[in-house]
Structure 1
Amino acid sequence: MHTIWKGSISFGLVNIPIKLHSATEDRDVKLRTLHKDCHSPIKYEKVCPVCNVEVKPEQIVKAYEYTKGKFVVLDDEELEKLKKDNEDKAVEIIDFVKMEEIDPIYYDRSYYMSPGENGGKAYSLLRKALAEAGKVGIAKIMIRSKEQMAVIRVLENTLVMETIHFPDEVRSSQDVPNVPEEDKVTKKELDTAILLIDQLTTEFDASKYTDEYRTALLDLIESKRSGQEVVTSAEKEVKANVTDLMAALQASIDQTKPANKEPVKKKRAAAKPKLKKEA
Protein backbone atom coordinates (compact mmCIF):
# COMPACT_ATOMS: atom_id res chain seq x y z
CA MET A 1 0.00 0.00 0.00
CA HIS A 2 1.53 3.30 -1.13
CA THR A 3 2.62 5.78 1.57
CA ILE A 4 1.37 9.30 0.84
CA TRP A 5 2.57 11.07 4.01
CA LYS A 6 5.09 10.49 6.78
CA GLY A 7 5.17 12.28 10.08
CA SER A 8 4.11 11.91 13.67
CA ILE A 9 0.97 12.20 15.77
CA SER A 10 1.15 13.30 19.38
CA PHE A 11 -1.29 13.40 22.26
CA GLY A 12 0.03 14.79 25.51
CA LEU A 13 3.65 13.66 25.74
CA VAL A 14 3.12 10.56 23.60
CA ASN A 15 4.65 10.85 20.13
CA ILE A 16 3.78 8.28 17.43
CA PRO A 17 5.67 8.12 14.11
CA ILE A 18 3.08 7.18 11.49
CA LYS A 19 2.53 6.74 7.76
CA LEU A 20 -0.68 7.53 5.88
CA HIS A 21 -2.14 5.29 3.17
CA SER A 22 -5.23 6.15 1.15
CA ALA A 23 -8.15 4.03 2.38
CA THR A 24 -10.29 4.52 -0.73
CA GLU A 25 -9.73 4.56 -4.48
CA ASP A 26 -11.44 6.11 -7.46
CA ARG A 27 -12.92 3.32 -9.58
CA ASP A 28 -14.54 5.59 -12.18
CA VAL A 29 -13.99 4.54 -15.80
CA LYS A 30 -11.86 7.24 -17.43
CA LEU A 31 -12.86 8.13 -21.00
CA ARG A 32 -10.56 10.00 -23.39
CA THR A 33 -11.70 12.64 -25.87
CA LEU A 34 -10.73 11.98 -29.51
CA HIS A 35 -10.94 13.81 -32.83
CA LYS A 36 -13.98 12.25 -34.52
CA ASP A 37 -12.35 12.22 -37.98
CA CYS A 38 -9.05 10.48 -37.15
CA HIS A 39 -9.55 9.26 -33.56
CA SER A 40 -6.45 11.06 -32.29
CA PRO A 41 -6.46 12.18 -28.63
CA ILE A 42 -7.25 15.85 -28.23
CA LYS A 43 -4.56 18.09 -26.70
CA TYR A 44 -5.46 20.84 -24.27
CA GLU A 45 -2.91 23.59 -24.57
CA LYS A 46 -2.50 26.53 -22.18
CA VAL A 47 -2.88 29.68 -24.26
CA CYS A 48 -2.80 33.33 -23.18
CA PRO A 49 -5.98 34.94 -24.59
CA VAL A 50 -4.31 38.40 -24.77
CA CYS A 51 -0.94 37.47 -26.30
CA ASN A 52 -2.52 34.61 -28.29
CA VAL A 53 0.50 32.36 -27.69
CA GLU A 54 0.97 29.01 -25.99
CA VAL A 55 2.32 29.46 -22.46
CA LYS A 56 5.13 27.20 -21.25
CA PRO A 57 5.15 25.84 -17.66
CA GLU A 58 8.06 28.09 -16.64
CA GLN A 59 6.05 31.15 -17.73
CA ILE A 60 3.14 30.41 -15.42
CA VAL A 61 2.80 32.01 -11.97
CA LYS A 62 0.18 31.58 -9.25
CA ALA A 63 -2.00 34.44 -8.09
CA TYR A 64 -5.08 35.23 -5.99
CA GLU A 65 -7.88 37.20 -7.69
CA TYR A 66 -9.11 39.51 -4.90
CA THR A 67 -11.49 41.37 -7.21
CA LYS A 68 -12.48 40.96 -10.85
CA GLY A 69 -9.35 41.35 -13.02
CA LYS A 70 -7.01 42.28 -10.12
CA PHE A 71 -4.50 39.77 -8.74
CA VAL A 72 -1.90 39.33 -6.03
CA VAL A 73 0.99 37.29 -7.48
CA LEU A 74 2.56 34.71 -5.15
CA ASP A 75 6.07 33.37 -5.81
CA ASP A 76 6.75 29.64 -5.67
CA GLU A 77 9.39 30.31 -2.99
CA GLU A 78 6.83 32.07 -0.77
CA LEU A 79 4.33 29.25 -1.13
CA GLU A 80 7.00 26.60 -0.53
CA LYS A 81 8.14 28.35 2.68
CA LEU A 82 4.56 28.48 4.00
CA LYS A 83 4.14 24.81 3.17
CA LYS A 84 7.43 23.80 4.85
CA ASP A 85 6.73 25.85 7.99
CA ASN A 86 3.48 23.95 8.50
CA GLU A 87 4.63 20.49 7.38
CA ASP A 88 7.59 20.55 9.78
CA LYS A 89 5.24 20.63 12.75
CA ALA A 90 4.15 17.35 14.32
CA VAL A 91 0.45 16.66 14.13
CA GLU A 92 -1.04 17.15 17.58
CA ILE A 93 -4.37 15.78 18.72
CA ILE A 94 -6.14 18.88 20.03
CA ASP A 95 -9.30 17.39 21.53
CA PHE A 96 -11.09 14.13 22.13
CA VAL A 97 -14.82 13.94 21.37
CA LYS A 98 -17.59 11.41 20.81
CA MET A 99 -17.83 10.42 17.17
CA GLU A 100 -21.62 10.78 17.08
CA GLU A 101 -21.21 14.51 17.82
CA ILE A 102 -19.67 15.04 14.35
CA ASP A 103 -22.23 15.32 11.57
CA PRO A 104 -21.29 13.25 8.46
CA ILE A 105 -21.46 16.40 6.30
CA TYR A 106 -18.02 17.34 7.66
CA TYR A 107 -16.25 14.18 6.44
CA ASP A 108 -13.98 14.35 3.40
CA ARG A 109 -11.44 11.55 2.80
CA SER A 110 -10.25 8.47 4.68
CA TYR A 111 -6.67 7.31 5.29
CA TYR A 112 -5.28 4.24 7.02
CA MET A 113 -2.51 4.95 9.54
CA SER A 114 0.36 2.55 10.07
CA PRO A 115 3.12 2.93 12.68
CA GLY A 116 6.49 4.24 11.57
CA GLU A 117 9.82 2.95 12.79
CA ASN A 118 9.72 2.12 16.53
CA GLY A 119 6.15 3.40 16.73
CA GLY A 120 4.35 0.12 17.28
CA LYS A 121 3.89 0.37 21.05
CA ALA A 122 2.66 3.99 21.03
CA TYR A 123 0.37 3.15 18.10
CA SER A 124 -1.13 0.27 20.09
CA LEU A 125 -1.53 2.52 23.13
CA LEU A 126 -3.52 5.16 21.22
CA ARG A 127 -5.62 2.50 19.49
CA LYS A 128 -6.56 0.80 22.76
CA ALA A 129 -7.12 4.08 24.61
CA LEU A 130 -9.51 5.37 21.91
CA ALA A 131 -11.41 2.08 21.86
CA GLU A 132 -11.71 1.90 25.65
CA ALA A 133 -12.74 5.56 25.99
CA GLY A 134 -15.20 5.41 23.07
CA LYS A 135 -13.76 8.66 21.73
CA VAL A 136 -12.07 9.99 18.58
CA GLY A 137 -9.21 12.48 18.36
CA ILE A 138 -9.44 15.86 16.61
CA ALA A 139 -6.19 16.99 14.98
CA LYS A 140 -4.75 19.25 12.29
CA ILE A 141 -2.47 18.04 9.50
CA MET A 142 -0.86 19.49 6.36
CA ILE A 143 -1.47 17.28 3.31
CA ARG A 144 -0.57 18.31 -0.23
CA SER A 145 -0.19 22.03 0.54
CA LYS A 146 -3.53 22.21 2.36
CA GLU A 147 -4.08 22.33 6.09
CA GLN A 148 -6.74 19.84 7.09
CA MET A 149 -8.74 19.10 10.19
CA ALA A 150 -8.87 15.40 10.90
CA VAL A 151 -10.59 12.78 13.02
CA ILE A 152 -8.47 9.89 14.30
CA ARG A 153 -10.48 6.79 15.13
CA VAL A 154 -10.27 3.00 15.34
CA LEU A 155 -11.58 0.76 12.55
CA GLU A 156 -11.34 -2.92 13.45
CA ASN A 157 -7.64 -3.18 14.41
CA THR A 158 -6.34 -0.13 12.51
CA LEU A 159 -6.15 3.58 13.24
CA VAL A 160 -7.93 5.62 10.58
CA MET A 161 -7.59 9.32 9.86
CA GLU A 162 -10.65 11.01 8.37
CA THR A 163 -10.01 14.50 7.03
CA ILE A 164 -12.94 16.80 7.76
CA HIS A 165 -14.01 20.19 6.47
CA PHE A 166 -13.49 23.36 8.46
CA PRO A 167 -16.78 24.90 9.64
CA ASP A 168 -16.54 27.78 7.14
CA GLU A 169 -16.29 25.23 4.29
CA VAL A 170 -19.71 23.77 5.08
CA ARG A 171 -22.62 25.79 3.73
CA SER A 172 -25.45 26.58 6.10
CA SER A 173 -28.60 24.49 5.77
CA GLN A 174 -30.51 27.74 6.37
CA ASP A 175 -29.52 28.80 2.82
CA VAL A 176 -31.25 25.83 1.16
CA PRO A 177 -34.24 27.20 -0.80
CA ASN A 178 -37.87 26.04 -0.59
CA VAL A 179 -37.50 23.95 2.58
CA PRO A 180 -40.92 23.69 4.33
CA GLU A 181 -40.99 25.48 7.68
CA GLU A 182 -43.23 22.87 9.33
CA ASP A 183 -44.42 19.32 8.72
CA LYS A 184 -47.83 19.41 7.03
CA VAL A 185 -48.51 15.69 7.11
CA THR A 186 -51.38 13.71 8.54
CA LYS A 187 -51.02 11.05 11.22
CA LYS A 188 -52.06 8.35 8.74
CA GLU A 189 -49.37 9.44 6.28
CA LEU A 190 -46.77 9.44 9.05
CA ASP A 191 -47.83 5.99 10.31
CA THR A 192 -47.63 4.57 6.78
CA ALA A 193 -44.22 6.16 6.16
CA ILE A 194 -42.86 4.68 9.39
CA LEU A 195 -44.28 1.28 8.41
CA LEU A 196 -42.42 1.52 5.11
CA ILE A 197 -39.20 2.41 6.95
CA ASP A 198 -39.68 -0.59 9.25
CA GLN A 199 -40.10 -2.94 6.27
CA LEU A 200 -36.96 -1.61 4.56
CA THR A 201 -34.82 -1.64 7.73
CA THR A 202 -31.92 -4.09 7.69
CA GLU A 203 -28.33 -4.43 8.89
CA PHE A 204 -25.85 -2.48 6.77
CA ASP A 205 -23.84 -4.73 4.45
CA ALA A 206 -21.61 -2.70 2.12
CA SER A 207 -20.89 -5.72 -0.09
CA LYS A 208 -24.44 -5.82 -1.49
CA TYR A 209 -24.21 -2.34 -3.05
CA THR A 210 -22.57 -2.09 -6.46
CA ASP A 211 -22.02 0.57 -9.11
CA GLU A 212 -24.40 -0.74 -11.78
CA TYR A 213 -23.57 2.02 -14.26
CA ARG A 214 -19.83 1.32 -14.10
CA THR A 215 -20.43 -2.42 -14.57
CA ALA A 216 -22.66 -1.80 -17.59
CA LEU A 217 -20.14 0.64 -19.08
CA LEU A 218 -17.28 -1.85 -18.71
CA ASP A 219 -19.43 -4.59 -20.28
CA LEU A 220 -20.19 -2.31 -23.22
CA ILE A 221 -16.51 -1.44 -23.66
CA GLU A 222 -15.49 -5.12 -23.54
CA SER A 223 -18.23 -6.07 -26.00
CA LYS A 224 -17.07 -3.43 -28.48
CA ARG A 225 -13.43 -4.35 -27.94
CA SER A 226 -14.01 -8.01 -28.69
CA GLY A 227 -16.09 -7.25 -31.77
CA GLN A 228 -19.32 -8.75 -30.50
CA GLU A 229 -22.68 -7.33 -31.43
CA VAL A 230 -23.92 -4.91 -28.80
CA VAL A 231 -27.39 -5.77 -27.56
CA THR A 232 -29.73 -3.61 -25.54
CA SER A 233 -31.27 -5.03 -22.41
CA ALA A 234 -35.02 -4.96 -21.98
CA GLU A 235 -36.34 -1.71 -20.66
CA LYS A 236 -37.54 -1.54 -17.10
CA GLU A 237 -41.23 -1.16 -16.54
CA VAL A 238 -42.11 2.53 -16.35
CA LYS A 239 -43.71 3.23 -13.03
CA ALA A 240 -46.88 5.23 -12.92
CA ASN A 241 -46.56 8.86 -11.89
CA VAL A 242 -48.30 8.62 -8.53
CA THR A 243 -49.05 12.11 -7.27
CA ASP A 244 -51.08 11.19 -4.18
CA LEU A 245 -48.73 10.88 -1.16
CA MET A 246 -50.68 8.07 0.54
CA ALA A 247 -50.97 6.13 -2.72
CA ALA A 248 -47.20 6.42 -3.26
CA LEU A 249 -46.44 5.23 0.27
CA GLN A 250 -48.86 2.29 0.02
CA ALA A 251 -47.46 1.31 -3.39
CA SER A 252 -43.95 1.35 -1.93
CA ILE A 253 -45.02 -0.87 0.97
CA ASP A 254 -46.71 -3.32 -1.42
CA GLN A 255 -43.49 -3.57 -3.45
CA THR A 256 -41.26 -4.17 -0.44
CA LYS A 257 -43.59 -6.53 1.47
CA PRO A 258 -41.90 -9.96 1.90
CA ALA A 259 -43.68 -12.67 -0.10
CA ASN A 260 -43.31 -15.37 2.55
CA LYS A 261 -44.16 -13.35 5.61
CA GLU A 262 -47.43 -12.18 7.06
CA PRO A 263 -48.11 -8.45 6.74
CA VAL A 264 -46.57 -6.34 9.45
CA LYS A 265 -49.18 -5.42 12.03
CA LYS A 266 -49.71 -1.80 12.76
CA LYS A 267 -48.49 -1.15 16.28
CA ARG A 268 -48.75 2.62 16.31
CA ALA A 269 -52.49 3.06 15.79
CA ALA A 270 -53.26 3.87 19.42
CA ALA A 271 -50.51 6.34 20.20
CA LYS A 272 -48.85 9.03 18.18
CA PRO A 273 -45.74 7.54 16.58
CA LYS A 274 -42.44 8.87 17.72
CA LEU A 275 -39.40 9.19 15.48
CA LYS A 276 -36.20 8.23 17.18
CA LYS A 277 -33.87 11.18 17.13
CA GLU A 278 -30.38 10.37 15.94
CA ALA A 279 -27.46 11.59 17.99
Structure 2
Amino acid sequence: MAGPKANWKGYIKFGEVSCPVALYTAASSSERIAFNTLNRKTGNRVKREFIDSETGDPVEREDQVKGYEVENGQYVVLEPEEVSAAVPESNKTLKIEAFIPCSQNDTTYFDKPYYLAPDKMGTGAFLLLRNGMKKEGVAAIAQTVLFRRLRTVLIRPHGKGLIASTLNFDYEVRSSEKAFEEMPDLKIEGEMLEVAEHIIGTKVGSFDASTFDNRYEVAVAELVKAKIEGLQAKKNPAE
Protein backbone atom coordinates (compact mmCIF):
# COMPACT_ATOMS: atom_id res chain seq x y z
CA MET A 1 0.00 0.00 0.00
CA ALA A 2 1.33 3.43 -0.94
CA GLY A 3 2.28 5.74 1.91
CA PRO A 4 0.81 9.20 2.50
CA LYS A 5 1.52 11.86 -0.10
CA ALA A 6 3.88 14.62 0.98
CA ASN A 7 2.56 18.20 0.86
CA TRP A 8 6.06 19.59 0.49
CA LYS A 9 9.59 18.26 0.03
CA GLY A 10 12.84 20.07 0.66
CA TYR A 11 15.66 20.30 3.19
CA ILE A 12 16.01 21.23 6.83
CA LYS A 13 19.22 23.03 7.75
CA PHE A 14 20.69 23.55 11.21
CA GLY A 15 24.18 24.98 11.39
CA GLU A 16 26.24 23.32 8.68
CA VAL A 17 24.10 20.18 8.72
CA SER A 18 21.20 19.61 6.34
CA CYS A 19 19.04 16.67 5.32
CA PRO A 20 16.12 16.04 2.95
CA VAL A 21 12.70 16.12 4.61
CA ALA A 22 9.02 15.96 3.72
CA LEU A 23 5.92 17.58 5.24
CA TYR A 24 2.71 15.59 5.66
CA THR A 25 -0.71 16.88 6.68
CA ALA A 26 -1.31 16.31 10.40
CA ALA A 27 -4.88 17.61 10.62
CA SER A 28 -7.51 17.57 7.89
CA SER A 29 -11.23 18.27 7.59
CA SER A 30 -11.60 15.96 4.56
CA GLU A 31 -13.29 13.27 6.68
CA ARG A 32 -16.11 15.60 7.68
CA ILE A 33 -19.47 15.27 5.98
CA ALA A 34 -19.71 17.69 3.06
CA PHE A 35 -22.84 18.82 1.24
CA ASN A 36 -23.51 19.96 -2.31
CA THR A 37 -25.99 22.73 -3.07
CA LEU A 38 -28.87 21.53 -5.24
CA ASN A 39 -31.82 22.96 -7.09
CA ARG A 40 -34.77 21.85 -4.96
CA LYS A 41 -37.03 21.62 -8.04
CA THR A 42 -34.75 19.51 -10.27
CA GLY A 43 -32.37 17.85 -7.80
CA ASN A 44 -29.44 19.02 -9.94
CA ARG A 45 -26.30 20.62 -8.53
CA VAL A 46 -26.02 24.37 -8.91
CA LYS A 47 -22.83 26.15 -9.96
CA ARG A 48 -21.37 29.47 -8.90
CA GLU A 49 -21.11 32.32 -11.34
CA PHE A 50 -19.34 35.66 -10.94
CA ILE A 51 -21.65 38.57 -11.75
CA ASP A 52 -20.75 42.23 -12.31
CA SER A 53 -22.27 44.04 -9.32
CA GLU A 54 -23.36 47.01 -11.47
CA THR A 55 -24.32 45.59 -14.88
CA GLY A 56 -25.54 42.20 -13.68
CA ASP A 57 -23.64 40.49 -16.51
CA PRO A 58 -21.62 37.27 -15.98
CA VAL A 59 -17.83 37.82 -15.90
CA GLU A 60 -15.71 35.18 -17.62
CA ARG A 61 -12.58 33.84 -15.88
CA GLU A 62 -10.19 35.62 -18.27
CA ASP A 63 -11.79 38.96 -17.36
CA GLN A 64 -11.49 38.48 -13.59
CA VAL A 65 -8.62 40.32 -11.84
CA LYS A 66 -7.61 41.04 -8.25
CA GLY A 67 -8.51 44.43 -6.83
CA TYR A 68 -7.74 46.25 -3.57
CA GLU A 69 -10.34 48.73 -2.32
CA VAL A 70 -8.71 52.06 -1.42
CA GLU A 71 -12.01 53.81 -0.69
CA ASN A 72 -15.69 53.20 -1.21
CA GLY A 73 -16.07 51.76 -4.70
CA GLN A 74 -12.55 52.71 -5.79
CA TYR A 75 -10.04 49.93 -6.47
CA VAL A 76 -6.47 49.49 -7.64
CA VAL A 77 -6.19 46.56 -10.05
CA LEU A 78 -3.46 43.94 -9.72
CA GLU A 79 -2.77 41.88 -12.82
CA PRO A 80 -2.01 38.13 -12.40
CA GLU A 81 1.63 38.57 -13.44
CA GLU A 82 2.06 41.37 -10.86
CA VAL A 83 0.69 39.16 -8.09
CA SER A 84 2.91 36.27 -9.21
CA ALA A 85 5.97 38.53 -9.12
CA ALA A 86 5.29 39.26 -5.44
CA VAL A 87 5.50 35.57 -4.50
CA PRO A 88 8.93 34.97 -2.89
CA GLU A 89 11.31 32.54 -4.54
CA SER A 90 11.66 29.22 -2.78
CA ASN A 91 14.97 27.47 -2.14
CA LYS A 92 13.09 24.50 -0.62
CA THR A 93 14.99 24.84 2.65
CA LEU A 94 13.66 25.01 6.21
CA LYS A 95 16.44 27.08 7.73
CA ILE A 96 16.47 26.95 11.52
CA GLU A 97 16.99 30.47 12.86
CA ALA A 98 16.94 29.70 16.59
CA PHE A 99 16.21 27.10 19.25
CA ILE A 100 13.89 28.17 22.07
CA PRO A 101 12.80 26.47 25.33
CA CYS A 102 9.55 24.56 24.83
CA SER A 103 8.12 26.48 27.79
CA GLN A 104 8.18 29.63 25.63
CA ASN A 105 5.84 28.19 22.98
CA ASP A 106 2.78 30.44 22.69
CA THR A 107 0.00 28.30 21.21
CA THR A 108 -1.99 31.44 20.34
CA TYR A 109 0.27 31.79 17.31
CA PHE A 110 -0.15 28.19 16.11
CA ASP A 111 -1.77 27.89 12.68
CA LYS A 112 -1.61 24.46 11.00
CA PRO A 113 0.41 21.36 12.01
CA TYR A 114 2.39 19.11 9.67
CA TYR A 115 4.38 15.95 10.36
CA LEU A 116 8.02 16.43 9.41
CA ALA A 117 9.84 13.24 8.44
CA PRO A 118 13.18 12.39 6.77
CA ASP A 119 13.04 11.86 3.03
CA LYS A 120 15.15 9.15 1.41
CA MET A 121 18.76 9.33 2.66
CA GLY A 122 18.40 11.94 5.42
CA THR A 123 17.57 9.71 8.39
CA GLY A 124 20.89 10.02 10.24
CA ALA A 125 21.02 13.82 10.31
CA PHE A 126 17.28 13.97 11.01
CA LEU A 127 17.60 11.75 14.09
CA LEU A 128 20.57 13.81 15.26
CA LEU A 129 18.36 16.90 15.23
CA ARG A 130 15.34 15.20 16.80
CA ASN A 131 17.29 13.55 19.62
CA GLY A 132 19.27 16.71 20.35
CA MET A 133 16.07 18.75 20.63
CA LYS A 134 14.50 16.13 22.90
CA LYS A 135 17.50 16.09 25.20
CA GLU A 136 17.68 19.89 25.45
CA GLY A 137 13.91 20.37 25.71
CA VAL A 138 13.81 22.91 22.90
CA ALA A 139 11.79 23.76 19.82
CA ALA A 140 13.16 25.27 16.61
CA ILE A 141 12.08 28.41 14.77
CA ALA A 142 12.56 28.12 11.01
CA GLN A 143 11.49 29.94 7.86
CA THR A 144 10.79 28.84 4.32
CA VAL A 145 8.40 29.44 1.44
CA LEU A 146 5.39 27.14 1.78
CA PHE A 147 2.51 27.20 -0.68
CA ARG A 148 3.63 30.50 -2.25
CA ARG A 149 4.02 32.33 1.08
CA LEU A 150 7.00 32.97 3.33
CA ARG A 151 6.09 31.16 6.52
CA THR A 152 7.60 30.96 9.99
CA VAL A 153 7.44 27.44 11.40
CA LEU A 154 7.80 26.07 14.93
CA ILE A 155 9.35 22.58 14.94
CA ARG A 156 9.08 20.21 17.93
CA PRO A 157 9.98 16.56 18.59
CA HIS A 158 6.91 14.37 18.12
CA GLY A 159 6.91 10.58 18.40
CA LYS A 160 9.49 9.12 16.03
CA GLY A 161 9.77 12.36 14.08
CA LEU A 162 9.07 16.07 14.30
CA ILE A 163 5.96 18.18 14.03
CA ALA A 164 6.11 21.54 12.25
CA SER A 165 3.39 24.09 12.98
CA THR A 166 3.06 27.12 10.74
CA LEU A 167 2.73 30.27 12.84
CA ASN A 168 0.49 33.29 12.46
CA PHE A 169 2.31 36.58 12.10
CA ASP A 170 2.20 39.01 15.01
CA TYR A 171 -0.18 41.36 13.19
CA GLU A 172 -2.62 38.46 12.66
CA VAL A 173 -2.96 37.69 16.37
CA ARG A 174 -5.22 39.99 18.35
CA SER A 175 -4.10 41.28 21.72
CA SER A 176 -5.79 39.74 24.75
CA GLU A 177 -5.83 43.08 26.59
CA LYS A 178 -9.18 44.23 25.17
CA ALA A 179 -10.80 40.86 25.84
CA PHE A 180 -9.84 41.05 29.52
CA GLU A 181 -9.80 44.82 30.11
CA GLU A 182 -13.08 44.87 32.08
CA MET A 183 -12.15 41.93 34.28
CA PRO A 184 -11.96 43.08 37.93
CA ASP A 185 -8.73 42.50 39.82
CA LEU A 186 -10.07 40.30 42.62
CA LYS A 187 -7.94 38.38 45.08
CA ILE A 188 -9.18 34.81 45.49
CA GLU A 189 -7.84 32.96 48.52
CA GLY A 190 -8.77 30.89 51.55
CA GLU A 191 -11.86 28.68 51.43
CA MET A 192 -12.93 29.90 47.99
CA LEU A 193 -9.61 28.83 46.49
CA GLU A 194 -9.81 25.50 48.33
CA VAL A 195 -13.23 24.85 46.77
CA ALA A 196 -11.77 25.41 43.30
CA GLU A 197 -8.83 23.13 44.09
CA HIS A 198 -11.21 20.41 45.31
CA ILE A 199 -13.34 20.57 42.14
CA ILE A 200 -10.24 20.43 39.95
CA GLY A 201 -8.94 17.47 41.96
CA THR A 202 -12.13 15.48 41.36
CA LYS A 203 -11.96 16.10 37.60
CA VAL A 204 -8.31 15.27 36.92
CA GLY A 205 -7.93 13.34 33.66
CA SER A 206 -5.58 12.85 30.74
CA PHE A 207 -5.58 14.14 27.18
CA ASP A 208 -7.27 11.56 24.92
CA ALA A 209 -8.54 12.97 21.63
CA SER A 210 -10.42 9.73 20.88
CA THR A 211 -12.92 10.66 23.60
CA PHE A 212 -13.84 13.98 21.98
CA ASP A 213 -17.45 13.72 20.88
CA ASN A 214 -18.47 15.56 17.70
CA ARG A 215 -22.20 15.28 18.33
CA TYR A 216 -23.14 17.41 15.35
CA GLU A 217 -21.15 15.24 12.92
CA VAL A 218 -22.61 12.04 14.40
CA ALA A 219 -26.17 13.39 14.24
CA VAL A 220 -25.74 14.52 10.62
CA ALA A 221 -24.20 11.16 9.66
CA GLU A 222 -27.17 9.33 11.17
CA LEU A 223 -29.57 11.65 9.35
CA VAL A 224 -27.81 11.04 6.02
CA LYS A 225 -27.83 7.27 6.64
CA ALA A 226 -31.57 7.33 7.35
CA LYS A 227 -32.20 9.36 4.19
CA ILE A 228 -30.18 6.88 2.09
CA GLU A 229 -32.02 3.91 3.59
CA GLY A 230 -35.34 5.63 2.88
CA LEU A 231 -34.31 6.28 -0.72
CA GLN A 232 -33.26 2.67 -1.19
CA ALA A 233 -36.55 1.50 0.31
CA LYS A 234 -38.46 3.57 -2.25
CA LYS A 235 -36.39 2.11 -5.10
CA ASN A 236 -36.80 -1.47 -3.84
CA PRO A 237 -40.24 -1.71 -2.19
CA ALA A 238 -40.94 -4.94 -0.32
CA GLU A 239 -42.91 -7.49 -2.32
If the length of structure 2 is used for normalisation, what is the TM-score? 0.86
Of 33, 36, 41, 2:40 maps to 36
**Is 1:86 the counterpart of 2:89 in the alignment?**
yes
Of 115, 119, 134, 2:118 maps to 115
Query: How many percent identity over aligned positions?
Result: 29
Q: Greater RCO between the two (CA within 8 Å, min separation 6)?
A: 2
**Is 1:102 the counterpart of 2:105 in the alignment?**
yes
Cα offset for 1:46? Answer: 0.6
Cα offset for 1:116? Answer: 2.5
**What residue identity is the alignment partner of 1:56?**
E
**What residue identity is the alignment partner of 1:183?**
L
Cα distance in 1 for partners of 2:52, 2:193 equals 60
Q: Which moved more, 1:141-150 or 1:123-132?
A: 141-150
Cα offset for 1:178? Answer: 6.2
Cα offset for 1:114? Answer: 2.1
Cα offset for 1:89? Answer: 5.7
Cα distance in 2 for partners of 1:38, 1:13 equals 64
**How many residue pairs get matched?**
227
Provide the residue aligned with 2:175 in structure 1. 172
**What residue identity is the alignment partner of 1:31?**
F
**Is 1:197 the counterpart of 2:178 in the alignment?**
no
Q: Structure 1's 41 and 73: CA in aligned 2 closer, same or farther, altered over 3 A?
A: same
Q: Structure 1's 67 and 145: CA in aligned 2 closer, same or farther, altered over 3 A?
A: farther
Structure 1 residue ranges, 4+ long, deviating more than 3 angstroms after superposition:
184-189
Q: Structure 1's 65 and 177: CA in aligned 2 closer, same or farther, altered over 3 A?
A: farther
Cα distance in 2 for partners of 1:66, 1:116 equals 46
1:4-63 per-position Cα deviation (integer Å, ceiling 9, x unaligned)? 112212111112221111011113311222222232222221111123211111111123
Q: Structure 1's 187 and 205: CA in aligned 2 closer, same or farther, altered over 3 A?
A: same
Mapping 1:260-271, distance limit 5 Å: none
1:83-102 per-position Cα deviation (integer Å, ceiling 9, x unaligned)? 2x432362211110012212
Stretches of structure 1 that go unaligned for 5 or more consecutive residues are 229-279
If the length of structure 1 is used for normalisation, what is the TM-score? 0.75
Cα offset for 1:152? Answer: 0.9
- Which structure would you say has the larger Rg? 1
The answer as to whether partners of 2:9 and 2:92 remain within 8 angstroms in 1 is no
User: Cα RMSD (Å) of the superposition?
Assistant: 2.1
Task: Provide the secondary structure at the position in 1 that maps to 2:156.
Answer: strand
